[in-house]
Amino acid sequence: SYGAFPLDRDKDMDIRAYRWVINQLNKGQPVVLFPEGTRSPNGMIKAKSGFAQIALHTQAPILPVGITGTESMGSWGRVFFPTGRLKINVGRVFSLPDVQGKPNKEIIDSFADMIMERVAQLLPESYRGVYGHQREAT
């Protein structure tokens, strides 16, 4: 489990997982999140916005990472017997700007897209999926 916290995918919002992530970040611990919630065989899919809400709430620094080659892994058993190559591109750390008051869904969604655009810039165009048409991230 490597310090992982199981997410209840049957819930729209797993409040226990949300609180666990916030707690880890508040203690200065790094947390790895996969905002799309699953792997996609044909490029990036629209991210769920909860990760952006967490980033806004904690003001934790964000390190975008683009991973390619997971399609050759197949099942999780392939982690131990890989048949392909993974490529990991790491971007630059950044933080979200401060927001006055409670951010609404539109603001949270726009920050989620901004973060995902930075991840997309770390991937070949064929992997960018729904973020392939986005502007260059700065």
Q: What pTM was estimated for this model as a whole?
A: 0.82
Supply the pLDDT for residue 82: 67
Q: How much is the mean pLDDT over the chain?
A: 85
CA-to-CA distance for 138 and 136, rounded, in angstroms? 6
Sign (positive/negative) of CA torsion 56, 59, 60, 61? positive
* Residues 31-45 as b or e (16 or more Cβ within 10 Å = b): bebebbeeeeeebbb
Cα atoms in the Cβ-side hemisphere of radius 13 Å centred on 109:
4
Pair 117, 135: CB distance under 8 Å: yes
CA-to-CA distance for 105 and 134, rounded, in angstroms? 20
Supply the pLDDT for residue 24: 93
Supply the pLDDT for residue 138: 46
Supply the pLDDT for residue 56: 94
Asked whether the predicted pLDDT for residue 4 surpasses 60, the reply is yes
Pair 120, 66: CB distance under 8 Å: yes
Domain ranges within the chain, ordered by starting residue: 15-131
Tens of pLDDT along 37-90? 777 777 888 988 999 999 999 999 999 999 988 777 666 666 667 677 889 999
Q: What are phi and psi of 67, to 5 degrees?
A: -120, 130
Tens of pLDDT along 15-36? 888 899 999 999 999 999 988 8
Confidence of residue 121 (pLDDT cuts 50, 70, 90): very high
CA-to-CA distance for 10 and 16, rounded, in angstroms? 13
